[in-house]
Amino acid sequence: MTCHWIEEDLTRNSAVLSLRRFKGKHTYDKIAELLQDTFTVYDLTTTKIVSVVTDNGSNFVKAFKEYGVTPETVDRDQENDNNEPEEQLLNISDILDEGVVLPRHKRCASHTLSLVATTDAEKVRTRIYLDI
C-alpha cells in the first residue's frame, strides 16, 4: 500500500505504508480489515484520506461497497453548524467497535483502460466475427 500527497508548496510526495503477505482467500471482508489495520497504524481517518485507488477486482469493489463511506455520508457528517470538519465522527480508531469503515473508493483508470483494450476489445472482435 502506498500513500501520495501534495504539500502546500505543491511538492509531490509518496511513501510505502505497508507491504504485507496476504494469506488465505482474498475476500472482500478480509481486504477491508487489512486496509483498516494499515489506516489505524498510521492514524489515517476517512477525513484525512481523499480516496483509495484499487484495481477493478470484484473483491475490492465489494469491500468498499460494503464498508466504504459514501461522498454524501462524508459531506453530511463533516459539517456542523459552523461548517467546520468534525473529524471525530469518522475517525477509524474511534469506531473500531462498530466495525470496519473505509474511505472513498476510486477504480484505477489505467486498469480500466487495460481491460477495455484487452478483454472488452476481444469480446467485440469475437462478436463481430460471429455475427458475420
pLDDT tens-digit profile, the chain (132 residues) = 999 999 999 999 999 999 999 999 999 999 999 999 999 999 998 888 999 999 989 999 999 999 988 655 445 445 554 555 444 444 444 444 457 889 999 999 998 888 888 887 777 777 766 655
pTM score over 0.75? no
CA atoms within 13 A on the CB side of 120: 7
Structural domain for 35, as ranges:
2-131
Among the residues of 1-132, which ranges form H helices? Answer: 28-41, 58-67, 71-78, 109-115, 121-131
Cα-based distances in Å from 66 to 38, 45, 100, 103, 124: 18, 17, 9, 11, 32
Structural domain count of the chain: 1
pLDDT confidence of residue 87: 43
